[in-house]
């Protein structure tokens, strides 16, 4: 009888990995405080009353507080004009006690998200949304890059997934996930295929991936026959189906095929917040270095 060739699939515990990294950052901040230094400070700006934004900000501020990082929130009314928001960003750019600035998206329609991204000082742009950091990413320079892609790299490294020489297929080309993860993987010498809604033969491309990143927002689009045996499958997408949150990857179907898969719960989500804290700590270190 032929032996089963099923792969033993590791399902990422993103919360455990996030807590380990946050613990290390917390220890560093305790040392800074014990030496008489000030705590790193993240300023978050929310415009309007979108409940999802309120909840994301709450999670980010709670995570910051737990590691001893200061966070301040500016909550502006829905009708805030673009020039008013840009004036606040200017003040935060000039504030020596603020290390990182994050404006929670989406912003109301009277405000251009690109104008906001351009207004944040490149050295405080800890969410990696502005053109200076996009340029640094493209040019292979150090900088602040989008937090979900940075979290994905941490996951791959933690699980010792080889990146150099690997074929990485990224589904999605947004500025916050698809584009930056494609460039970051390419910087680590992966051969990257970036896919989107007009890509032909998507399933076939995915089947050739050693690393498959799904960042679309289409429930369970990645099925068993899209996955190469032994691949690392990173599920970024989150959609709501019948009141339940669902990922882009059919987790149960790819078990036994993928070597590593990230679940949509306790997957890359906690890593995204962790990398925001990491970027803020980097900004603090750069700003306080003598
Ligand atoms: P987005 O800006 O809407 O981009 C989605 C991408 O998917 C686009 O590039 C689009 O292609 C592509 N796409 C749409 N339908 C497709 C199809 N049928 N086949 C192939 N590609 C298709 O989304 P995003 O901001 O990158 O977020 C993607 C997902 O990740 C969302 O579900 C979001 O909620 C989730 N997310 C999760 C986290 C986390 O921390 N867990 C963080 C960020 C985002 P076109 O460019 O051609 O339109």
185 lies in a domain?
Answer: yes
The 10s digit of each residue's pLDDT in 22-62 is 999 999 999 999 999 999 999 999 999 999 999 999 999 99
Which of the residues are catalytic? 60, 104, 127
241 lies in a domain?
Answer: yes
Confidence of residue 266 (pLDDT cuts 50, 70, 90): very high
> Is there a single domain that holds both residue 113 and residue 155?
no
Range of the domain at 256: 146-269
Pocket test for ligand 1, best of 17, 104, 178, 249 (most atoms within 8 A of CB): 178
> Is there a single domain that holds both residue 155 and residue 193?
yes
Residue whose CA is at the smallest distance from ligand 1 atom 48: 197
Q: Give how many domains the chain has, as a whole number.
A: 2
> Is there a single domain that holds both residue 166 and residue 246?
yes
User: Which pLDDT value is given to residue 2?
Assistant: 45
> Is there a single domain that holds both residue 76 and residue 188?
no
pLDDT of 4 > 70? The answer is: no
Instruction: Specify the long-range contacts of residues 84-88, CB closer than 8 Å, at least 24 apart.
Output: 85/45, 85/47, 85/111, 85/116, 86/115, 86/116, 86/119, 88/45
Confidence of residue 246 (pLDDT cuts 50, 70, 90): very high
Q: Rounded to the nearest whole angstrom, what is the distance from the C-alpha of residue 69 to the centroid of ligand 1?
A: 31
The 10s digit of each residue's pLDDT in 125-177 is 999 999 999 999 999 999 999 999 999 999 999 999 999 999 999 999 999 99
CA dihedral over 63, 66, 72, 73, signed as positive or negative = positive
Q: What are phi and psi of 112, to 5 degrees?
A: -85, 120
Q: Rounded to the nearest whole angstrom, what is the distance from the C-alpha of residue 15 to the centroid of ligand 1?
A: 22
> Is there a single domain that holds both residue 171 and residue 253?
yes
The CATH number of residue 111's host domain is: 3.40.50.10860
Residue whose CA is at the smallest distance from ligand 1 atom 18: 197
Measured distance CA(214)–CA(247) in Å, rounded: 9
> Is there a single domain that holds both residue 107 and residue 171?
no
Instruction: Tell me the CA end-to-end span of the chain in Å, nearest whole number.
Output: 68
Q: Rounded to the nearest whole angstrom, what is the distance from the C-alpha of residue 253 to the centroid of ligand 1?
A: 21
Confidence of residue 6 (pLDDT cuts 50, 70, 90): confident
242 lies in a domain?
Answer: yes
Residue whose CA is at the smallest distance from ligand 1 atom 40: 269
* Number of residues assigned to the chain: 290
Residue with tokens 């599920």: 235
Q: What pTM does this model have?
A: 0.96
Residue whose CA is at the smallest distance from ligand 1 atom 3: 216
């Amino acid at each position: 009888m032929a032996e089963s060739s099923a792969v033993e699939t590791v399902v990422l515990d993103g919360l455990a990995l996030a807590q380990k990294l946050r613990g290390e950052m917390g220890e560093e901040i305790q040392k800074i405080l014990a030496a008489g230094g000030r705590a790193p400070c993240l300023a978050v700006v929310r415009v309007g009353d979108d409940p999802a934004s309120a909840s994301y900000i709450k999670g980010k501020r709670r995570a910051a507080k737990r590691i001893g990082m200061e966070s301040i929130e500016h909550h502006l009314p829905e009708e805030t004009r673009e020039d008013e928001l840009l004036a606040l960003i200017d003040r935060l750019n000039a504030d020596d006690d603020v290390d990182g600035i994050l404006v929670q998206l989406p912003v109301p329609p009277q405000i251009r998200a690109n104008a906001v991204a351009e207004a944040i000082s490149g050295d405080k742009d800890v969410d990696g949304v502005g053109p200076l950091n996009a340029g640094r990413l493209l040019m292979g320079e150090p900088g602040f890059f989008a937090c979900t892609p940075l979290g994905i790299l941490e996951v791959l490294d933690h699980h010792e997934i080889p990146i150099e020489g690997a074929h990485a297929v990224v589904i999605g080309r947004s500025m916050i996930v698809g584009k930056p993860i494609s460039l970051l993987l390419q910087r680590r010498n992966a051969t990257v295929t970036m896919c989107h809604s007009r890509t032909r033969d998507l399933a076939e491309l995915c089947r050739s991936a050693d690393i498959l990143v799904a960042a679309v927002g289409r429930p369970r689009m990645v099925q068993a026959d899209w996955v190469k045996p032994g691949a690392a499958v990173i599920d970024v997408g989150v959609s709501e189906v019948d009141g339940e949150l669902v990922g882009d990857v059919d987790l149960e179907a790819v078990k036994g095929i993928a070597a590593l898969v990230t679940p949509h719960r306790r997957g890359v989500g906690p890593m995204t917040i962790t990398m925001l804290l990491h970027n803020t700590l980097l900004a603090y270190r750069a700003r306080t270095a003598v």
